[in-house]
């Protein structure tokens, strides 16, 4: 573990709480000291949830440490069971309270004696797993618990549904555009004549999990969340799963063709080629736009991509394969799944970067100076410092990533939204320069900074004046090159003469 002021993926207990609070009528008890209880605020503020976040903190303080936690934790579980009447209570420690090495399994068994609902311990190693891994593991644990419970009671349904059906696995609260993706996926399935058997965990009841065995196939749209559950269901019931993310024209078509293959292998006869052609030609505008003069103006422009595996891989493919944009490097913070990411994007970019260090990512962006960045909120801040536009394409999420309007990233409507995001993220032509000519900016002060915060260089008044004469769309690059020139030669300040010398050194 290390202390950091920016984390791309949060600690394990955040993943567990995301899963628990996504289900209907499930309550989470977080065994933690004050300071670890920020999830309620984060969920209510960022995702604009109207309902109460079903998470209670069983606070670890010095009084609890003096006499042991069991009595307080058990009392809190039983109290919430009586007040809320949940179907399930999930107990989770945090990385802080895990230090105590308490027998939380015993706490759960003790509480289950009096609780009317089910009580479960989220069995996650808080020192080895991050938010995404813990969410995937917790979802799998809950599904297994209720499948086994139904099996013991003889409540598991035999066979499959009469019509082709699907379990959509992995949409959660605090997921990046998950709510809109979910709606788009349900529409897509309806258009294909496929019933949604269950959709978990967002909005589902744990009592519905016993129906999962009836689906013809499972769809896992997000690489980070749901694969473990899908593999368990395949092992138990032989249910095939599809993990092709339907994002972009090519991958959406590939996902639909895979669905067709899986359904026909089970005795149905469906042909989705006409549907794919209709959607590609008339519903999605992305294929048409990629041939338009507007998109051709982007051909060869340099971009970098960074995010979680699902979104970074998908956007890299869309940029390179569908829009002709040069991806200088593509990266992910999902280090635990780095091999898959490399395999997916290697042929579409010059370099692959795997890192959880936002400083390293910032330096890599500054090094290549792309025309646009596609990343997380952190890369958006980096772009502001470097005067490079950025389109946000992945979590960690921000309130801006819960738009009130309909903005899915998946399906054919998602292709339109992504195309708009990509096109509008580039500074096109001379627009920035023209804005300055006609007074569109509020200030002439140069606000662009290098990515390094330890610069001790000072710009003199005449040096600043000369820099301001340079068109805005290249000024950031000139400023950084000049500062590098000055630093290499030991100058402490930059005047007009130093700026001229730097320009001559690079042949400008």
Residues at the annotated binding site for [4Fe-4S] cluster? 36
- Quickly tell me which residue has 């003469």 as its tokens: 497
Element (H, E) at 58: strand 55-59
Quote the strand ranges of 146-299, DSSP E.
Answer: 165-171, 195-201, 217-219, 241-242
Which two three-digit tokens encode residue 406?
Answer: 């309909």
- How many residues comprise the chain? 508
Which two three-digit tokens encode residue 252?
Answer: 């959406």
Task: Check: CB of residue 359 under 8 Å from CB of residue 335.
Answer: no
As a dihedral over the C-alpha atoms of residue 232, residue 237, residue 240, residue 242, rounded to 10 degrees, the angle is -40
Task: Check: CB of residue 272 under 8 Å from CB of residue 260.
Answer: yes
Please spell the DSSP secondary structure of 118-184, one letter per residue. Answer: EEEE----TTT-BHHHHHHHHHHHHHHHHHHHHHHHT-PPPS--SS-EEEEEEE-TT-TTHHHHHHH
Which residues are known binding-site members? 36, 429-430
Under the phi-then-psi rule, with left for phi > 0, alpha for psi from -120 to 50, and beta for the rest, what region is 215?
beta
As a dihedral over the C-alpha atoms of residue 302, residue 303, residue 304, residue 307, rounded to 10 degrees, the angle is -170
Which residues are known binding-site members for substrate? 429-430
Phi first, then psi: give them for residue 101, nearest 5 degrees: 55, 45
191 is catalytic: no
What is the SS3 assignment for 145? helix
Which of 294, 350, 462, 488 is catalytic? The answer is 294
**Positive or negative CA dihedral for 382, 397, 31, 199?**
negative
The residues that are catalytic are: 294
């Amino acid at each position: 573990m290390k202390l950091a002021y920016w984390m791309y993926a949060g600690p394990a207990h955040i993943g567990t709480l995301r899963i628990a609070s996504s289900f209907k009528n499930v309550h989470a008890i977080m065994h933690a000291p004050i300071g670890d209880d920020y999830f309620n605020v984060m969920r209510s503020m960022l995702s604009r949830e109207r309902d109460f976040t079903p998470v209670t903190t069983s606070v670890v303080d010095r009084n609890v440490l003096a006499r042991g936690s069991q009595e307080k934790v058990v009392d809190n579980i039983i109290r919430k069971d009586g007040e809320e009447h949940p179907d399930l209570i999930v107990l989770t420690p945090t990385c802080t309270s895990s230090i105590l090495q308490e027998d939380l399994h015993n706490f759960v068994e003790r509480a289950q004696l009096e609780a009317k609902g089910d009580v479960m311990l989220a069995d996650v190693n808080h020192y080895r797993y991050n938010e995404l891994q813990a969410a995937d593991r917790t979802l799998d644990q809950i599904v297994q618990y209720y499948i086994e419970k139904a099996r013991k009671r003889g409540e598991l349904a035999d066979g499959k549904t009469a019509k082709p059906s699907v379990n959509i696995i992995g949409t959660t609260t605090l997921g990046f555009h998950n709510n809109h993706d979910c709606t788009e996926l349900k529409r897509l399935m309806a258009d294909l004549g496929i019933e949604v058997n269950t959709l978990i965990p967002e909005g589902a009841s744990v009592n519905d999990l016993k129906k999962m065995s009836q689906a013809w196939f499972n769809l896992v749209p997000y690489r980070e969340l749901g694969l473990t559950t899908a593999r368990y269901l395949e092992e138990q019931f032989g249910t095939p799963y599809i993990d092709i993310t339907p994002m972009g024209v090519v991958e959406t078509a590939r996902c639909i063709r895979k669905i067709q293959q899986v359904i026909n292998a089970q005795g149905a006869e469906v042909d989705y080629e006409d549907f794919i052609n209709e959607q590609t030609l008339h519903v999605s505008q992305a294929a048409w736009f990629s041939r338009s003069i507007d998109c051709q103006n982007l051909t060869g422009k340099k971009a970098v991509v960074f995010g979680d595996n699902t979104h970074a891989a998908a956007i890299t493919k869309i940029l390179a394969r569908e829009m002709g944009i040069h991806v200088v490097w593509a990266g992910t913070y999902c280090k635990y799944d780095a091999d898959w990411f490399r395999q997916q994007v290697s042929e579409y970019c010059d370099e692959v970067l795997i890192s959880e260090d936002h400083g390293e990512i910032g330096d890599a962006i500054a090094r290549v100076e792309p025309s646009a960045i596609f990343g997380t909120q952190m890369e958006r801040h980096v772009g502001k410092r470097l005067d490079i536009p950025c389109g946000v394409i992945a979590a960690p999420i921000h309130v801006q990533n819960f738009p009130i309007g309909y903005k899915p990233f998946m399906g054919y409507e998602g292709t339109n939204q992504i195309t708009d995001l990509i096109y509008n993220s580039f500074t096109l032509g001379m627009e920035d320069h023209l804005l300055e000519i006609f007074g569109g900016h509020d200030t002439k002060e140069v606000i662009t900074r290098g990515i390094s915060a330890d610069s001790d260089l000072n710009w003199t008044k005449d040096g600043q004046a000369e820099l301001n004469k340079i068109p805005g769309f290249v000024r950031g690059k000139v400023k950084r090159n000049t500062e590098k020139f000055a630093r290499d030669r030991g100058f402490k300040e930059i005047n007009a003469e130093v700026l001229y010398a730097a320009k001559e050194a690079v042949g400008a």
